[in-house]
Amino acid sequence: MTDARKRTTIIIMSLMVVAGVIISFFLGQFSITPKELGGIIISQFADVKPFWTSQQEHVFWTVRMPRIFIACLVGIALSAAGCVYQGIFENPMAAPDFLGASSGAGLGAALAILAGMNEWMITVMAFAFSLATIWLVYIIGNRTKGNKTVGLVLAGLMVSALAQAGTSFIKLVADQTNELPEITYWLMGSLTGTTQRDVVFSGAIIAVGIIPLLILRWKINVLTIGEDEASTIGINVAKVRFISLICATLVTAAAVSVSGMIGWVGLVVPHFCRKVVGNNMKFLLPASVFMGAFFLLMVDNISRNLFAVEIPIGILTAIIGAPFFIYLITKGGESV
């Protein structure tokens, strides 16, 4: 595929996201027609006599819009992080929770729920513990002997296991009537109860992490050819890897803190995009960003509309993602 066709493909993906967002506004238990949607939005800027109910307006501004935006943001963050991790570690199985960010967030959220904190503090605790976990992984990884990249991965596995053990202990001692179901539901991943504050909080952090990754994507691309080769053309390998890891981890922590533990997005989407636009990070990262947003948005639509009772989105991403990944690596021609 030529570069021009790859750019066209990425543009099509971005239009898919826009179309998905528009369609998602009309899906839900409370029906909102295109005319009513237009009226609700225009009424914020002009004097329009309402031809919609106050309940519809409330649902649109406080429930549907924040949830749609957060689905896109989380999809962007997890897909971009997975793409970057796979490039940096040269490992097709690398995922956003590769360094324990998701496990740390789960521990923080479980502690917050056990302590009886409100939803906002649960988000803050999840984010703080996610960052703390990565900091610990980085400290341990730098103290290992030999290959620092391998040491970082092993440290991530160890710290992640400790965080999961801590979460399991909290579930053991938690009240089985209220606290345990809430912890379990959070760990399954869900966008239920998303607020505008969550959108602003996670959106700002994800933007801070994504922008440097997009700027550095050609340097990240060079890292895949090997450290020695990258150094010979003037790339500061250690600096680029450090910045990329920090940014990828930051967006992962921000996403997990507001959505819970959602798997497979950061693994499946980059593989799919790699099959479509190739391995060049110049095209692969933007494609992963748009496709991640579209994928999670569509999965969330299924989650909140398929049955009367909402299905945790983490369950759906596994149900959809695992078979699709099997197809990619067997019938789809994807190499691992």
- pLDDT tens-digit profile of 249-275? 899 999 999 998 898 899 899 999 998
- pLDDT band at 201, cuts 50/70/90? very high
- Please report, as a single letter, which amino acid is at residue 202: S
Determine contact, residues 245/88, Cβ cutoff 8 Å: yes
Question: Measuring CA to CA, how many Å separate 181 from each of 106, 130, 164, 166, 176?
Answer: 14, 22, 17, 17, 7
Q: What average pLDDT does range 38-54 have in this prediction? A: 88
pLDDT of 166 reads 96
Instruction: Round to whole Å and give the CA distance between 85 and 82.
Output: 5
What's the rounded mean pLDDT across residues 150-166? 90
Q: How do residues 71-85 score in pLDDT, each as one tens digit? A: 999 999 999 999 998
Mean pLDDT across 301-319 = 88
Nearest alpha carbon to residue 168 among 180, 177, 159: 180
What pLDDT score was predicted for residue 333?
A: 53
Of 133-137, 164-168, 204-208, 220-224, least confident by mean pLDDT is: 220-224
Top pLDDT among 94 and 289 is at: 289
**Torsion over CA: 212, 285, 149, 141 (sign):** positive
Examine the pLDDT at 324 and tell me if it is beyond 90: no
Distances (CA, A) of 176 to 43, 190, 200, 269, 315: 46, 20, 33, 36, 22
Residue with the larger pLDDT of the pair 102 and 12: 12
What integer is the mean pLDDT of 222-243? 75
Half-sphere exposure of 277 (CA within 13 A, CB side): 27
Residue 185 has pLDDT above 80, yes or no: yes
147: left (phi over 0), alpha (psi -120 to 50) or beta: beta
For residue 336, pLDDT beyond 60 = no
Domain spanning 3-96+194-330: CATH 3.40.50.720: no
What CA–CA distance (Å, rounded) separates 292 from 277? Answer: 14
Nearest partner of 27 among 312, 306, 315, judged by Cα: 306
Give SS3 for 48: coil
Q: Where are the domains of the chain?
A: 3-96+194-330
Percent of the chain at pLDDT > 90 equals 54
